[in-house]
Structure 1
Amino acid sequence: MLKSTLSALGGRPRAFDGVLDQAGGIILGKDHEIRLAITCLLANGHLLIEDLPGMGKTTLAHTLARLLGLQFSRIQFTSDLLPADITGVSIFERDKSEFRFLPGPVFAQLVLADEINRATPKTQSALLEAMEEGQVTAEGQTRQLPTPFFVIATQNPAHQIGTFPLPESQLDRFLMRLELGYPDRAAERALLTAGGQRARAEQLPPMLKAEDLPALQKEAAAMHTAGPLIDYVQALVEATRHNPAFQHGLSPRAGLALLAAARAWAWLAGRDMVLPDDVQAVLPAVARHRLRSAQGGGYAQDEDIAALIRSVAIP
């Protein structure tokens, strides 16, 4: 069944060629970041995008939802948002003399948690169970979320007014953290000439069907991972625990996340096995938000992660 599904889609890596091309035509000059975002989805993870306002974070989420054929929902996080505004609420129907549950916006296949750090930690925590277990427990009853279920959260830098820091437990639910950054000169010129890309994103045709994604995610998770490759991942994780550049090292769950992301990256590249290059390609996005710099306590710096990669020998 899996082979027939992939064949109908046109082959393993080819299934996403159109997605990458079309998304690259909307989010200009950010092909690497788009590939990482799709890798995160293939690895069955969730994505945190942190950057200044106006950098294309929301447009990227809209674009992926359209191209992947996913049911889309957007939650605008504000300081007065309540957990029930996310998960849903029960209302009493007088004519039936019973309560009926009204699902919240979290009941969608791709949920955009926009400016997540503008809500209080209590409200942010409403996403914890959904992101970890794929379900929501409200008023004593557990309800399953749609499949696939993918959260893209955006947040503004912590120094901006009206933001609350994400708890470490919430950060750890995100498989990857990305920064889009400013476009290069050519990409920005094209953007200025076109007059913005949001309207184009809304008109994109689906390149995949949502029901096909679980099979593709299973294919990516089944990528061959040799023993020496696992040794390399373990050595990287272990090295973070003894590196003076970081306050603390990566957890075992972070090691699992790194392996899952490396498998999905290798799958997307059309390979049959995971290579050390795949691990190195995804390590910054997987580890940056999980490691705290020993100087200042902020996110780990790219140069520290690059030095970590150089310090660990490939088996």
Structure 2
Amino acid sequence: MLPVLLIFISGFIFQRVFMLDIKPISTMAMYLLLPFLVFKTFYQQPINQNFFYIVVTSIIIMALLIVIGLIIAKLLHYNKKKTNAFLLATVFANNGNYGVPVALFAFGQKGLAYAMPLMIFYTILMGVVGIYIAASGTSGVKTAFISVLKQPMNYAIIPGIIFQQMSLTMPSNLMKTVNMISQTAIPVIMLVLGMQLANVMGKHIDWRSVGIVSIVRLIISPVIAYLICIPFHLSPLLQNIIVVMAAMPSAANTTIYAIQYNTEPEFVSSATLITTIVSIPTLTLLLNFVS
């Protein structure tokens, strides 16, 4: 965890000093750096039965977390807006600028080969279901599909798979460009998360609700993932990646959704901050258990 934390802290301190506009940096990472990383991942990693397991387990985990979130919201008498915010914070994990780096540092390139397809599919789920939840069903479906269509990483998957399945070799000079740009993606998105966390410091925190979010997101979610993996008889590495990725804190992108649709943005951003801080000891314990 130490290399990951040091990069987060660097972004956090940098943002507290300079208070930059994060959106252009985030846009560059999302629309330029990640597509190169996605292409490289699918170009080098064949699509096999493991990808099917990633898709199925991700959908089941998300569905169960939505059900749990709705039950908790009902018991706590949340209104519609607070319920949607609670779902945003509990259902969607930060697999991108947190989960992928942790998988890389903890499990190496083999772990990254599983973590990247999982992150990509989860990003699609978040772009559809997450926006639908944030929009409260008003124009969620239309907005979700538009959002998915605007994500260039989804289009980078197709040529990557075609090149891999047809055994086509990228020219060495072009591959050097792909490698150089893709290698910058993970460090940049990690710095962006640190900067985002610096922006939500000092906001009002609903400690009871955020505490429940932390329990669901950091404890219940990985337990669910582990139980779901059992009947599939997955390889130990793939099972560990699915469980660890399910134990990530609240996704940073949900804060953007909450702001855009006015879905309790202070609560969602506070949940992202607190779950990220609390995840340091919980993930450390989990990684020591599964490694």
Mark yes or no: TM-score above 0.5.
no
**Greater gyration radius:** 1
Taking structure 1 as the reference length, what is the TM-score of the superposition? Answer: 0.26
In proportion to residue count, which structure has more strand? 1
Instruction: Between the two structures, name the one with larger relative contact order (CA 8 Å, sep ≥ 6).
Output: 2
In proportion to residue count, which structure has more helix? 2
